[in-house]
């Protein structure tokens, strides 16, 4: 790992964690194109979530503080409970299958990335034609059942190329939210999962040693991810106010899927 790799990975993480094009898919493509490797390299990819997690916490600090006040001052638990309900499926399955996901060839295959990229991209193109539940004014009107439906969509995002923000925005649209509200709820609901990912890494002695041995490059990569992530959040939430905004990301995903699949077939 060198400075160029750290900056590149932080930049890619910062953009793709929030824009619905799949951070895990893009990082896997970058890793294989540039042949990034090394002992415990997956720890680096997990630890650069710290920068984008910090971006989320700062960007949504007022919303987070309001949720906390609702719980402890106003005894209004609805949104907090829904966020927990949304977080449980992917958090539980990710924890139970973490060893399999890290070691499985399926989850590290560019075939998998390209197919997931393409399928989610196609859904984004046709999202307005799919059946939707009754429209909601905001995420505060979500029922626990609709929140669970969004949570189940996050399980799909465990597949590289699917995208956590992409699948949850799609699910949010289907259960009645507009694209902007679906994205905001998606990011709020991703905070517990991202905290869990970072906590899980630090629970291992090997990963803690990796962190301290590579603290300089990790700090640089996380700084880049944080700065780029702040801009990406602002861009996405503004862009999603436009009609049919998801179609642009759908077209991008399909192009990347075709290029990636072609590259794999040609180069083996």
φ, ψ for residue 221, nearest 5 deg: -65, -40
**Residue 83 vs residue 40, higher pLDDT:** 83
* Whole-number percent of the chain with pLDDT over 70: 98
DSSP H helical ranges for the chain: 3-16, 23-33, 41-47, 49-59, 61-72, 78-96, 98-103, 110-126, 144-156, 164-174, 179-202, 205-213, 215-239, 246-267
Instruction: Determine the average pLDDT of the residues in 234-245.
Output: 90
Report the range of poorest mean pLDDT among 82-91, 136-145, 160-169, 201-210.
Answer: 201-210
What pLDDT is recorded for position 1?
Answer: 76
Instruction: Determine the average pLDDT of the residues in 231-246.
Output: 92
Residue in the structure block whose two tokens are 């996050």: 154
pLDDT digits (tens, 9 = 90+) for 109-139: 899 999 999 999 999 999 999 999 999 988 8
* Whole-number percent of the chain with pLDDT over 90: 66
Whether the model clears a pTM of 0.95, i.e. scores above it, the answer is no
- Other residues' Cβ atoms within 10 Å of the Cβ of residue 246: 26
Instruction: Place 39 in a pLDDT band, splitting at 50, 70 and 90.
Output: low
Rounded CA-CA distance 228/201 in Å is: 23
**Residue 166 vs residue 108, higher pLDDT:** 166
Q: Is 27 exposed, middle or buried (0-12, 13-18, 19+ CB in 10 A)?
A: buried
Taking all residues of the chain, what is their mean pLDDT, rounded to a whole number?
90
Rounded CA-CA distance 145/21 in Å is: 26
Residue 59 near residue 121 (C-beta atoms within 8 A): no
pLDDT digits (tens, 9 = 90+) for 150-188: 999 999 988 999 999 999 999 999 999 999 999 999 999
């Amino acid at each position: 790992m060198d400075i160029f790799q750290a900056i590149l990975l932080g930049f890619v993480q910062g953009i793709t964690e929030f824009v619905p094009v799949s951070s895990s898919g893009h990082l896997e493509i970058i890793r294989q194109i540039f042949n990034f490797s090394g002992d415990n390299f997956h720890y680096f990819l997990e630890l650069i979530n710290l920068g984008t997690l910090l971006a989320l916490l700062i960007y949504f600090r007022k919303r987070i503080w309001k949720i906390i006040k609702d719980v402890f001052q106003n005894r209004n638990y609805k949104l907090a409970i829904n966020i927990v309900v949304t977080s449980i499926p992917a958090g539980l399955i990710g924890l139970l299958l973490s060893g399999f996901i890290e070691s499985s060839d399926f989850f590290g295959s560019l075939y998998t990335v390209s197919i997931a990229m393409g399928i989610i991209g196609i859904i984004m193109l046709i999202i307005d034609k799919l059946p939707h539940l009754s429209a909601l004014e905001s995420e505060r009107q979500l029922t626990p059942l609709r929140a669970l439906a969004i949570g189940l969509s996050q399980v799909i995002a465990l597949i590289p190329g699917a995208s956590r923000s992409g699948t949850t925005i799609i699910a949010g649209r289907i259960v009645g939210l507009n694209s902007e509200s679906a994205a905001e709820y998606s990011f709020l609901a991703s905070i517990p999962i991202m905290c869990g990912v970072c906590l899980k890494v630090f629970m291992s002695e090997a990963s803690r040693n990796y962190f301290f041995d590579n603290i300089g490059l990790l700090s640089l990569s996380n700084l880049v991810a944080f700065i780029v992530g702040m801009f990406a959040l602002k861009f996405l939430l503004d862009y999603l106010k436009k009609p049919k905004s998801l179609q642009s990301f759908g077209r991008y995903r399909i192009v990347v899927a075709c290029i990636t699949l072609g590259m794999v077939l040609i180069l083996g």
